[in-house]
Chains A and B, each alone.
Chain A
Amino acid sequence: MNESRAELSEHPGLDAEQPAVRVRGLVKRFGEVEAVRGIDLDVAPGETFGFLGPNGAGKSTTINILCTLAEATSGTAEVAGLDVVRDRAAVRRRIGLVFQEPTLDNYLSGEQNLRFHGELYGVDRTTAAARREVVLKMVGLWERRKDEVNKYSGGMRRRLEIARGLLHSPSVLFLDEPTIGLDPQTRKSIWAYLSELHRTEKTTVFVTTHYMDEAENCDRIAIMNEGRIVALDTPDRLKAGVGNDRVQITTSDDAEALARLRDRFGLEAGVHEGMVTVSVPDGAGFVPRLFTELGVEIRSVTVQRPTLDDVFLAHTGSTIRDAEAGAGPSAFAVMARRGR
């Protein structure tokens, strides 16, 4: 987006020489389907960059192109200043990859997996041994390094994959949904390791997720929807940009509540996650009015300051959970768009 491009130069990390990731006019078609519809992107060195969007938004396709695993239909992509098509092998040496699906050899020990990786990436042996210790200690697996991966929990395997992705000191670490399928506590610990990494290694991190709470940990985030980047900024600014509070109520008659909100309050509400949802500038002040004037029995009320969920909603027309469930744009979204 144009305004986000202007915003780039203001970002503290971005005065640096060349961007860690640079994408221009990227398009990827699979037959009839246009998965990526022309995106531009710059990620600064050392930045933790979140790439958000529902399943099928084009995130994985984009990340695959950046990792040299897929070729773009048109447009260019550079990683660490190298073209992903022309300098494929050189790009591969400079990136670390953590995929959605596991890619470990479960019959080898954690350390053997890392040793294998170091050899494949041509890291010299002395460096590799030192790096193994650093990365295994960083993800808290040093004590368990001799155990077969079989004996690791899901969270430990994920951590091992992250450690492995860092073994060859990549310029950019790509993580595609690194916390998918993990319990909340493990998700939290993965992010703790990622921020530790950010502090100690200064590696650029490019991470896709569809957990909005996780995106808060990123320096900047891009929201992708239906093949386009619909928002790109720091989480705080994105939230400030949405402005309104979100009020969600459960009622005895949602349809009636929607109608009255429209007629009496002039508000376009929608039903999200089973609750009548409306966006207002001052949520706390709106609630008393709601009780006196709505005329439909209200069973519960929640008022939320804007979150990244709201940012997502405002830009894509659905909450990420709706989007996951395959729901289309709602009345609320139409309003949110108009209000932008």
Chain B
Amino acid sequence: MSTAPAEVAPTRVPTFDLRHEVRAAKVVWQRELIRFGKDRYRMVSSLVQPLLFLLVLGVGLGSLVGSGAGPGGGSVKFTAFLFPGVLAMSVGFTAAFSGISMVWDREFGFLREMLVAPVSTTAIITGKCFGGATVSTVQSVVLLALAGLVGVPYSPVMMLELIGLLFLCSFMIVAFGLVLAARVKQVQSAFPLVQMIITPMIFLSGALFPLSSLPGWLTALTHLNPMTYAVEPMRSVVFDHLNADAATRARFDPGIVWGGWHVPLWAQVGVVALGSIALLFAAVARFARTE
């Protein structure tokens, strides 16, 4: 490979290497953070909905459902049940919007700046996924801080586990948002589309009500929903730190059962991790092909 005459190319640009790819992904990640930091309005507004669900719907429905007080004396507030679900809902929406924001990048031309650079589309998309996941997770920390209000203890281990799970869940949903963004060309249809898809995913994930006593066809849908595998581990982690007896836990945190098999926690997390990777590469393929 010959190079251009020295006097016209004073800057040495390295040849294809992993370090360059990582740098590119990192700067895309950084951009997401900078943009998030500048958008105070977005930060506040995307917290309103989860707070409504947790503090208004949770408290309201809680009086109807009652606290799961069993014979063992363990009692669980309904809001404590709802807590991990609302966390998942919060990151679900923030992450999906973060992914779909690529439609705006296309509209304002910045996507072109990224895609014509001498780096792989994988680096760009990976950076975008990490960026969106970081932003969503950071935002959910505000909700985590409210744990005490809804009857969930401030256990550092639980908090760390939740943050890890929230990050993973966000990553998957950002990648999903990117897959959608590759298809959607019109800015106006991006938000309604996200609402239309994420809302049923939240409803069918066990975020807002237990999946223990659903009719069979609904159970089948929840099993097909990747979000289910992100919500259930979060709930398990929270229930591990609640003083709940076996009956209460079985009712509120039934786990996921495929056929007769209780899907273990690591497998649930594995489903989300694999889903993330699959969606990431689907997004890469779409952007590499269509732009």
Given contacts A119-B24, A119-B27, contact A92 B117 (CB under 8 A): yes
Q: Which residues of A contact B26 (CB under 8 A)?
A: 119
B98-111 interface code vs A (CB 8 A; 1 in, 0 out):
00000000001110
Of the candidates A68, A90, A103, A107, which one forms a contact with B109 in the assembled complex, judged by CB atoms under 8 Å apart? Answer: A103
CB distance from B244 to the nearest CB of A (A): 46
Closest to A100 in B: B109
B160 at the interface (CB under 8 A from A): no
B1-A99 in contact (CB<8A):
no
A239 at the interface (CB under 8 A from B): no
Count chain B CB atoms within 10 A of each CB in A17, A103, A122 and give the residue with the most. Answer: A122
List A4-42 residues whose CB lies under 8 Å from chain B: 16-18, 20
Of the candidates A94, A99, A116, which one forms a contact with B9 in the assembled complex, judged by CB atoms under 8 Å apart? Answer: A94
Measured as residues with beta carbon below 8 angstroms from the partner, the interface class of chain B is 20 to 34
Report the Cα distance A81→B38, complex, angstroms: 43
B31 at the interface (CB under 8 A from A): yes
Given contacts A121-B13, A204-B8, contact A103 B1 (CB under 8 A): no
List A59-91 residues whose CB lies under 8 Å from chain B: 67-69, 80-82, 87, 89-90
B27-A94 in contact (CB<8A):
no
List A92-131 residues whose CB lies under 8 Å from chain B: 92-94, 97, 99, 101-108, 112, 115-117, 119-124, 127, 131
Q: Which residues of A contact B2 (CB under 8 A)?
A: 18, 81-82
A103-B112 in contact (CB<8A):
yes
Given contacts A93-B13, A123-B11, A168-B13, contact A105 B108 (CB under 8 A): yes
Given contacts A89-B16, A89-B118, contact A122 B108 (CB under 8 A): no
B27-A80 in contact (CB<8A):
no
CB distance from A237 to the nearest CB of B (A): 25
B4-A80 in contact (CB<8A):
yes
B3-31 interface code vs A (CB 8 A; 1 in, 0 out):
11101111111111000100110110001
List A145-182 residues whose CB lies under 8 Å from chain B: 168-171
A203 at the interface (CB under 8 A from B): yes
Given contacts A16-B5, A82-B2, contact A99 B117 (CB under 8 A): no
Report the Cα distance A101→B106, complex, angstroms: 11
A202-B23 in contact (CB<8A):
no
Given contacts A120-B24, A122-B24, A169-B9, contact A107 B35 (CB under 8 A): yes
List B68-113 residues whose CB lies under 8 Å from chain A: 108-110, 112-113
B119 at the interface (CB under 8 A from A): yes
Q: Which residues of A contact B16 (CB under 8 A)?
A: 89
Of the candidates A20, A122, A131, which one forms a contact with B14 in the assembled complex, judged by CB atoms under 8 Å apart? Answer: A122
Q: Which residues of A contact B109 (CB under 8 A)?
A: 99, 101-104
B118-A92 in contact (CB<8A):
yes
CB distance from B119 to the nearest CB of A (A): 6
Q: Which residues of B contact A107 (CB under 8 A)?
A: 35, 38
CB distance from A167 to the nearest CB of B (A): 9
Of the candidates B8, B13, B35, B112, which one forms a contact with A123 in the assembled complex, judged by CB atoms under 8 Å apart? Answer: B13
Q: Is the interface of B mostly helix, strand, loop or mixed?
A: loop
A45 at the interface (CB under 8 A from B): yes
Report the Cα distance A103→B105, complex, angstroms: 9
Report the Cα distance A90→B34, complex, angstroms: 30
A112-B34 in contact (CB<8A):
yes
CB distance from B82 to the nearest CB of A (A): 35
A227 at the interface (CB under 8 A from B): no
Q: Which residues of B contact A168 (CB under 8 A)?
A: 11, 13
B24-A90 in contact (CB<8A):
no
Closest to A203 in B: B8
B114 at the interface (CB under 8 A from A): yes
CB distance from A60 to the nearest CB of B (A): 13
CB distance from B39 to the nearest CB of A (A): 8
B1-A119 in contact (CB<8A):
no
Q: Which residues of A contact B31 (CB under 8 A)?
A: 105, 108, 116
A54 at the interface (CB under 8 A from B): no
Of the candidates B8, B23, B113, B114, which one forms a contact with A122 in the assembled complex, judged by CB atoms under 8 Å apart? Answer: B23
Report the Cα distance A46→B5, complex, angstroms: 10
B116 at the interface (CB under 8 A from A): yes
Closest to B10 in A: A169
A169-B11 in contact (CB<8A):
yes
Q: Which residues of A contact B117 (CB under 8 A)?
A: 92, 117, 120-121
CB distance from B38 to the nearest CB of A (A): 6
Closest to A99 in B: B112
Closest to A112 in B: B34
Chain A residues proximal to chain B, CB less than 8 Å: 16-18, 20, 45-46, 67-69, 80-82, 87, 89-90, 92-94, 97, 99, 101-108, 112, 115-117, 119-124, 127, 131, 168-171, 202-204
Q: A87-B1, A104-B109 are in contact. List 14 more A-B contacts (CB 8 A).
A: A16-B5, A45-B8, A68-B116, A81-B3, A101-B112, A107-B38, A112-B34, A115-B27, A117-B117, A120-B27, A120-B117, A122-B24, A131-B11, A169-B9
Question: Could you write out 16 A-B pairs with CB less than 8 Å apart?
Answer: A16-B5, A45-B5, A68-B116, A89-B16, A92-B116, A94-B9, A102-B108, A107-B35, A116-B27, A119-B23, A120-B24, A120-B113, A122-B14, A168-B13, A170-B9, A202-B8
